[in-house]
């Protein structure tokens, strides 16, 4: 564990963990805290940040990070990124440090989606927005096999739910999915909700089920599109999952990895010692975040290259 990650854990425990110990969760406080702490990292040299936040920018409302025009390889890879934040706070701006570093390391054009947030827009609003954004990319001429859908925390669960919903609808599937500390079980049934309670520097175990209600409303916490742990995972593209071993949501990663492998999906599952929830967002400050994103970038390149070399009959699920 680097001193940088130790410092990040100290910061998270002081700033976030006390809030998740409260009997109620304040949407307004979470949004205000995030907005106050949003900082804008420098756009990678030669890259272009193109913001699309006008009302008529849907379904691609958010921001593009585009590589230099001279980078031909990047034109062949697109990352659709879904930010975390419990479905009720955060934004593409709050996750720029992660997205910028992932895009640069993968040399891939990246779109970070501003999906609608709960409780104003409950399930399935976020999923509908993710599906619409992916389908718009296809309409705009982006090859399904050149796309990787990625996300962290709630965005990681949303990325997996998007893959499941695309498969169920018969859409062409992307080349792969990347799930950073994904929230895949809104019913909060994992053993680590209890066993890692107190070890996790960011969340308390009991807060998970409380937070889920903002998004779920009257929807069952085991609905497979809200909690993709309960979905049939057969036929999905390759997955990369990363989680820290002290997270209360650790079992949300481990159980998905086990279930996906049993369904015949190619899965890479990395459990990192003593890393906080979604530590990749601390890149480039934390060395472990940089290494994790290097692994994710390698996955993007391998998954898209493999799909590019497959016959078209092998790249979609019927």
pLDDT band at 311 (very low <50, low <70, confident <90, very high): low
User: Does the annotation mark 204 as catalytic?
Assistant: no
Please say whether the beta carbons of 296 and 150 come within 8 A: yes
Pairing of strands 78-82, 239-244: unpaired
Choose the catalytic residue: 153, 181, 204, 227: 153
Residue 18 confidence (pLDDT) above 70: no
Which is more confident, 281 or 9?
281
Helix (H) or strand (E) holding 261: helix 250-262
User: Does the annotation mark 274 as catalytic?
Assistant: no
Write the pLDDT tens digit of every residue in 125-148: 999 999 999 999 999 999 999 999
Please say whether the beta carbons of 12 and 279 come within 8 A: no
> Which residues are CB-contacts of 281 (< 8 A; sequence separation ≥ 6)?
95, 97, 98, 152, 289
Helix (H) or strand (E) holding 131: helix 125-139
DSSP 8-state assignment for residue 312: G
pLDDT of res. 74: 58
Residue 10 confidence (pLDDT) above 70: yes
- Work out the number of other CB atoms within 10 angstroms of the CB of residue 28: 8
pLDDT band at 219 (very low <50, low <70, confident <90, very high): very high
Domains of the chain, start order: 3-309 (3.40.50.1820)
Mean pLDDT of 221-233: 98
Choose the catalytic residue: 66, 114, 247, 288: 247
Please say whether the beta carbons of 230 and 224 come within 8 A: yes
Residue 79 confidence (pLDDT) above 60: yes
**Degrees (nearest 5) of the Cα angle 33, 34, 37?**
90
Choose the catalytic residue: 66, 94, 95, 277: 277
| Closest-CA residue to 191 (of 242, 144, 239, 249) | 249
Mean pLDDT of 278-284: 95
User: Does the annotation mark 51 as catalytic?
Assistant: no
């Amino acid at each position: 564990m680097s001193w940088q990650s130790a410092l990040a854990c100290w910061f998270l425990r002081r700033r976030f963990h006390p809030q998740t110990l409260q009997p109620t969760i304040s949407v307004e406080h979470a949004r205000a805290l995030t907005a106050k702490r949003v900082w804008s990292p420098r756009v990678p040299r030669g890259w272009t940040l193109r913001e699309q936040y006008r009302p008529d920018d849907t379904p691609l409302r958010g921001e593009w990070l585009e590589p230099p025009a001279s980078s031909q390889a990047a034109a062949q890879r697109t990352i659709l990124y879904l930010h975390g934040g419990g479905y009720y706070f955060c934004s593409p701006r709050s996750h720029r440090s992660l997205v910028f570093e992932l895009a640069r390391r993968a040399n891939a054009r990246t779109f970070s989606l501003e999906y609608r947030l709960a409780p104003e827009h409950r399930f399935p609003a976020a999923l509908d927005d993710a599906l619409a954004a992916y389908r718009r990319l296809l309409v705009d001429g982006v090859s399904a096999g050149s796309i990787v859908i990625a996300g962290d925390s709630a965005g990681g669960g949303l990325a997996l739910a998007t893959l499941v919903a695309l498969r169920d609808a018969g859409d062409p599937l992307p080349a792969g999915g990347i799930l950073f500390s994904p929230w895949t079980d809104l019913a909060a049934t994992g053993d680590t909700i209890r066993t890692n309670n107190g070890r996790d520097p960011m969340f308390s175990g009991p807060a998970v089920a409380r937070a889920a209600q903002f998004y779920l409303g009257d929807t069952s916490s085991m609905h497979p599109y809200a909690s993709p742990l309960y979905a049939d995972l057969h036929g999905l593209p390759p997955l990369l999952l990363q989680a820290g071993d002290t997270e209360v949501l650790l079992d949300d990663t481990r159980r998905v990895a086990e279930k996906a492998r049993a369904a015949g999906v190619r899965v890479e599952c990395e459990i990192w010692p003593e890393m906080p929830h979604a530590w990749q967002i601390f890149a480039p400050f934390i060395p472990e975040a940089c290494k994790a994103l290097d692994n994710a970038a390698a996955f993007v390149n391998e998954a898209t290259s493999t799909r590019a070399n497959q016959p078209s009959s092998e790249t979609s699920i019927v």
